[in-house]
Amino acid sequence: MKLSKTELINFLNSKNPSSKSTEKNIDQVLFFTLIWNSFEGSFFFDNVELNNQTLVLLSQKSTSYIQERYVDELFDFFRKRYVLNNKITPTFKRLRFCYKKTSTNQKVEKIVEDTLLINNPSFEAKMKVILLIIYRFRNNLFHGVKSPLNLNKFEDIYGHINTFLIRYVTALIDQKVNIRKILSNNKDNVVI
């Protein structure tokens, strides 16, 4: 017996009366799980761990393969979401970069904040911020911070993230970039 989408929606809505989950508005979150699986499976493997450092390295090594307009689209979307009147919004803190108070997490949060706030960040800086924010969405979803009872609220965000990830993975695969080899050979040289 398999679970139908209707049963899933009914379950989500019964657990939270204010939830307005529908098949349409949770699709992007469900799609994200599959797209992220493809992203992670394409670039990370036994000897290259998925973490902030390797995502920074990936952003540095892949900027020449993706069109700048795709990066600009998602960066501008995040900037509109997380910056208001040249200040970081409370919504940004809910990304939980500092879920554990480590110097690396604090550095990552500061890098993302600073890049969102400056006027003309470099292409590489935008790419780095995008991958780090997407990684927070991944961690918050997969580790229970984003409640499945409220996933309908994230339809638009995951829609933007999904579009970018598909373009990103496709660009690297189409150009036959051996990111695994690049990451494996450089993983110890990254400093945040």
Specify if 91 maps to a domain.
Answer: yes
Specify if 118 maps to a domain.
Answer: yes
DSSP output for the chain: ----HHHHHHHHHHH-TT----HHHHHHHHHHHHHHHHHHHHH-BTTB--SHHHHHHHHHHHGGGS-HHHHHHHHHHHHHHHEETTEE-HHHHTT-TTSS--HHHHHHHHHHHHHHHSSS--HHHHHHHHHHHHHHHHHHHHTTSS-GGGGGGGHHHHHHHHHHHHHHHHHHHHTT--HHHHHHHHGGG---
Report the predicted TM-score, pTM, of the whole model to 2 decimal places.
0.88
Specify if 21 maps to a domain.
Answer: no
pLDDT digits (tens, 9 = 90+) for 71-82: 999 999 999 999
Specify if 112 maps to a domain.
Answer: yes
Specify if 19 maps to a domain.
Answer: no
Q: How many domains does the chain have?
A: 1
Residue-number span of the structural domain to which 37 is assigned: 27-189
pLDDT digits (tens, 9 = 90+) for 19-53: 777 777 788 888 999 999 988 888 777 677 788 88
